[in-house]
A and B are shown apart, each in its own frame.
Chain A
Amino acid sequence: MTTQTNGGRLSTLSAAYIIARRDFVASLFSRSFIFFLLGPLFTLLVGGLAGGIGARVQQNVEKPKLGIAMSEFDVLAMTRARHELAGRLGNAVPELVEVRRLKPGESFDPAAALAGSKDNLGAIVSGTPAAPVLTGPAERIEAWQGEIELIAAEAVGTGPEHYPTVTLGKIAGTSTADTRQSRVLTAQAGQVLLFLLTMLLAGMVLSNLVEEKGNKIIEVLAAAIPLDAVFLGKLFAMLALSWVGLSVWGGIIGVVWQGSGHSLANYPAPAVGWPMFIALGVIYFSLAYLLLGALFLTIGSIASTIREVQMLSMPISLLQIINFFFASYAISKPGSAIELAAMIVPFSSPLTMIARAAQDPALWPQAVVIAWQVLCVALLVRIGARLFRSRVMQSGPARGPGRPGLVRRLLTQKNEPALQGEQ
């Protein structure tokens, strides 16, 4: 890989490979990697805390509705009954969605209607108010049986002395609403995992650069190879390291999970299917890390001291938490302007897109956003390298005693000479 260009300089990719190889090997056999392997424990802890946000999102997610397919008279009676009950019981009674007003003698297949419905239907009630038939997944219709009896009794005017018997028509699989809820859960889990891992890794790459500055080797690197290559090498070394960590942990968790009799096939598949979801998960994890890592590297490169690095990285970490909330909120607003904005903002984009992959089978938006994120990574690396070259390599080692740090310079007057001791 150490091939030279015709001009006598390593290409950016070859140089990045040298840096990445050095960083990867050095980090793999370091104590910090052990801590990285312990990272998922931290993930579980913080994941528990993040559960509160998840519950909030679940509340905001659209509730499953009850479809109704009866004669016109019965539909109106049931709807009125539901309305009256809702006034007394609140949201305990499911919302009714009219699927069809049946003509006398018209046949109707509730299972087919349920499968083909675009509404968020949990089940369909058909028949008559005196003899209602509730069709849907077992779990859902058992949960709603009592509510349907109440509505039907109200509709026929027999309650509370007599409640019509509800006939249950169980169908295999899950309803649209249940699938949607499961996918939301998958989306949330994907987001939390992505967020925590990227934060952990970006912090590591920042420490790596600070250590590099401490080693004072950065000028040797800058003299020999493009700074873009230094940045790229560092980013990809840590990414490769994270893949090792994920493989180790994924392997352990997989074995334990399989051993306890679980299988992905038992869970509702994400909209894009499990294989594609996992592939997209890896891609978005990589891109989320590269985006945040490039930003942290930029900070690390322009800051003069570890204190400056901490001061500058704290707001970025907070912003990333806000991005996480933003992307979490966007789950409950599919197709809205909020989701679109979360897809476009580079730092919330991977979190939003992994959630979208769980909920929406369309792959072309994924491809477009991946291309956008790659572009953002390239831009950030380039900007970081330029900032580094312009801000850091401007002074020799013998700085004057009064040379202010970056933060002080930012807070004080703009044109203050920064190089009193410049050599």
Chain B
Amino acid sequence: MMKLGDGAGVSNAGGAAARGLAIEARGLVKRFDGFTAVDGVDLAVPEGAIYGVLGPNGAGKTTTLRMLLGIIDPDAGLRRVLGHERPQEMAHTIGYLPEERGLYPAMKAYDAIAFLGALRGLPLAEGRKRGKALLEEHGLGYAIDRQIRQLSKGMAQQVQLLGTLVHEPRLVVFDEPFSGLDALNQGKLERMIRGLAAKGTTVIFSTHVIAHAERLCDEVAIIAGGKVPFAGPVDVARDRIRPQVRLETRASDGAWRRALPADARHEGAFWYFSLPDSGIEPLLRALIEGEAGILSLSIERAGLHDAFVAIAGEAAARALEENVAEEQGR
């Protein structure tokens, strides 16, 4: 029988075993009315890590997070959150910000934070005290006594975010946390996430914006069509594809052209191609001997976007870009 925590199965980055796992899932499956939304997802989130779940809308991110939190149960597979196979048993040590934000409009900001804390077991009086302090600390002191309906959407979102953290959880799960925030507040949120991780809190967030994941995450899970084709450190994802070579030459043609790999493409003044298996030195020698007249040559490590394209496929990457464009258009 498959068991979690036996060290087998889930591929994971180095350090995870040493730190222990905040979340461990194996073979999670969820079907709705015959449609398989999540199809055998494996995840291993190290304690204290910033972990990104990356994929376009409809990939299965929210369903996966909901299963990890115990909001819904998987049809198959195993999950363990903070050492417990029933995630809701650890509710007081978990914070969750769903993608669809929501607060009671008539509640005052500090009361809303206290209420969210109370749901996680924090006494109401303590929650109110902490709520006021958190609002002051994050530059929202003027909104303490304001009702949620009197706040802007972005401010209400920040209040909910603080409510997610008021009980000082060990694990924080954000579903599309950057969605709906302006650039300034996105930056603030990135700093907050780093701050949480620095204090040892595990942060897992879903996003369809690769840049956020690339800047923040120690590890990512790429999810597409309900499956996870890759889960592990960002560097490992990048290493899945060869570094890209950018070459500029004086000569436009000549014997040196035969040294270029078959996938080389010419755009403007530059040639682009993947670094050959044999490395850069034989290529350089061939270019020099073929009198290419090298003006510039750079080797660039693949970005997470390229890795995503390579791992999840062109269609998933296109869907991801469409999601971003759609959001920016809103």
Q: Are B124 and A2 in contact (CB under 8 A)?
A: yes
Inter-subunit contact A394/B32 (CB<8 Å): yes
Chain B residues with CB below 8 A from A393, complex form: 66, 71-72
Is there a chain A Cβ closer than 8 Å to B300's Cβ? no
Chain B stretch 77-125: residues in CB contact (< 8 A) with chain A: 84, 86, 88-94, 96, 98-107, 115-116, 118-124
Whether A223 pairs with B96 at a CB distance below 8 angstroms is yes
Contact call B101/A9, Cβ cutoff below 8 A: no
Q: Is the pair A215, B103 in contact by a Cβ cutoff of 8 Å?
A: yes
Q: Could you name 18 residue pairs across A and B whose Cβ atoms are closer than 8 Å?
A: A2-B122, A2-B123, A3-B121, A4-B92, A7-B84, A26-B107, A215-B104, A216-B100, A216-B101, A217-B103, A221-B119, A224-B91, A224-B96, A396-B61, A415-B33, A417-B35, A422-B62, A422-B63
When distances are taken between beta carbons in the complex, the residues of chain A under 8 Å from B124 are 2
For B106, the closest partner residue in chain A by CB is A26
Picked from B57, B63, B89, B100, the residue with its CB within 8 Å of the CB of A8 is B89
Q: How far is the CA of A107 from the CA of B72 in the complex (A)?
A: 81
Known contacts A2-B122, A7-B89, A217-B103: A421-B98 contact under CB 8 Å: no
Least CB distance from A129 to B in Å reads: 79
B98 partner residues in chain A, CB cutoff 8 A: 216, 219-220, 223
Contact B57 A398 (CB under 8 A): yes
Does any Cβ of A come within 8 Å of B60's Cβ? yes
Q: Does A47 contact B (CB under 8 A)?
A: no
When the two chains form their complex, are residues A8 and B37 in contact, meaning their CB atoms are under 8 A apart? no
B58: shortest Cβ distance to chain A, in Å? 5
Please give, as numbers and ranges, the residues of chain A lying within 8 Å of B101 by CB-CB distance: 216
When A393-B66, A416-B33 are in contact, do A422 and B102 touch as well, CB less than 8 Å?
no
Chain B residues lying within 8 Å of A8, measured Cβ to Cβ, are 89-93, 121
Known: A30-B106, A224-B91. A423 touches B121 (CB 8 A): no
Scoring A residues 382 to 416 as 1 if CB is less than 8 Å from chain B, else 0, what string do you get? Answer: 00000001000111111010000000000000011
Q: Select the residue from A226, A395, A400 with max chain B CB neighbours within 10 A.
A: A395
Given pairs A9-B89, A22-B115, 15 additional interface contacts (CB within 8 A): A8-B91, A22-B104, A26-B107, A220-B96, A220-B116, A221-B119, A222-B71, A223-B94, A226-B88, A393-B72, A397-B62, A415-B33, A419-B37, A422-B60, A423-B60
B65: shortest Cβ distance to chain A, in Å? 9
A338 at the interface (CB under 8 A from B): no
Which B residues are CB-close (under 8 A) to A18? 115, 118-119
B59, CB-defined interface residue at 8 Å: yes
| Chain B residues within 8 Å of A216, by CB | 98, 100-102
B88 partner residues in chain A, CB cutoff 8 A = 9, 226
CB-based contact B91/A9 at 8 Å:
yes
Task: Return the CB mask of A217-251 against B: 1 if under 8 Å, else 0.
Answer: 11111111110000000000000000000000000
CB of A15 closer than 8 Å to a CB of B: yes
B34 within 8 A of A: yes
Are A419 and B32 within 8 A (Cβ)? yes
The bracket for how many chain B residues form the interface is 35 or more
Rounded to whole angstroms, the CA-CA distance of A370 and B93 in the bound complex is 40
- Interfacial chain A residues near B159, Cβ < 8 Å: none
**A394 interface neighbour in B72, B102, B116, Cβ under 8 Å:** B72
- Cβ 8 A contact of B33, one of A4, A7, A22, A418: A418
B33 in contact with A423 (CB, 8 Å): no
Name B residues whose Cβ lies closer than 8 Å to a Cβ of A: 32-35, 37, 57-63, 66, 69-72, 84, 86, 88-94, 96, 98-107, 115-116, 118-124, 160
Contacts of A380 in B (CB 8 A): none
The 4 residue pairs across chains A and B that have the minimum distance between CB atoms: A216-B102, A396-B62, A217-B102, A224-B119
Distance to closest chain B CB from A416 (angstroms): 7
Q: Give Cα distance in the complex from A258 to B107, angstroms.
A: 41
Please report the C-alpha to C-alpha distance between residue A398 and residue B99 in the assembled complex, in whole angstroms: 10
Chain A residues with CB below 8 A from B105, complex form: 215
B33 to chain A, nearest CB (A): 4
- Per the bound structure, the CA–CA distance linking A128 and B24 in Å amounts to 98
Does the CB pair A219–B93 fall under 8 Å? Answer: no
Whether A4 pairs with B121 at a CB distance below 8 angstroms is: yes
B107 / chain A contacts, CB cutoff of 8 Å? 26
The reply on A10 being an interface residue by CB < 8 A is: yes
B72–A389 touching, CB < 8 Å? yes
Give the residues in chain A near B104, CB-CB below 8 Å: 22, 26, 215, 217
**Inter-chain contacts of B91 with A (CB < 8 A):** 8-10, 223-225
> Roughly how many angstroms separate A4 CA and B167 CA in the complex, as a whole number?
13
Interfacial chain A residues near B118, Cβ < 8 Å: 2, 18
* CB–CB A220/B35 < 8 A: no
Interface pair B63/A423, CB less than 8 Å apart? yes
Bound complex: CA A26 to CA B35 (Å): 40
Q: Residues of A contacting B123 with CB < 8 Å? A: 2
Instruction: Tell me, rounded to whole Å, the shortest Cβ–Cβ distance linking B117 to chain A.
Output: 9
Q: Please give the distance in Å from B159's CB to the nearest CB on chain A.
A: 12
Chain B residue at minimum C-beta to C-beta distance from A14: B121
* Distance of B105 from chain A, by nearest CB (Å): 7
Contact of B32 among A22, A397, A418 (CB under 8 A): A418
Q: In the bound complex, what is the Cα–Cα distance between A219 and B57 (angstroms)?
A: 18
CB-defined contacts of B160 to chain A, threshold 8 Å: 220
Q: Which residue of B lies closest to A423 (CB)?
A: B62
Complex alpha-carbon distance, A398 and B208, angstroms: 12
Q: Which of B61, B69, B92, B116 contacts A423 (CB 8 A)?
A: B61
Are the CB atoms of A417 and B58 closer together than 8 Å?
no
Rounded to whole angstroms, the CA-CA distance of A223 and B60 in the bound complex is: 18
CB of A377, distance to nearest CB on chain B (Å) = 23
Q: Which residues of B contact A415 (CB under 8 A)?
A: 33-34
Q: Shortest CB–CB separation between residue B318 and chain A, in angstroms?
A: 16
User: Contact check: which of A10, A217, A223, A417 meets B121 at CB < 8 Å?
Assistant: A10
Contact (Cβ within 8 A) B102 A220: yes
Nearest residue (CB) in B for A395 is B32
Q: Which of B33, B71, B100 contacts A417 (CB 8 A)?
A: B33
Query: How many angstroms between the C-alpha atoms of A10 and B94 in the bound complex?
Result: 13
Give Cα A218 to B105, complex, Å. Answer: 14
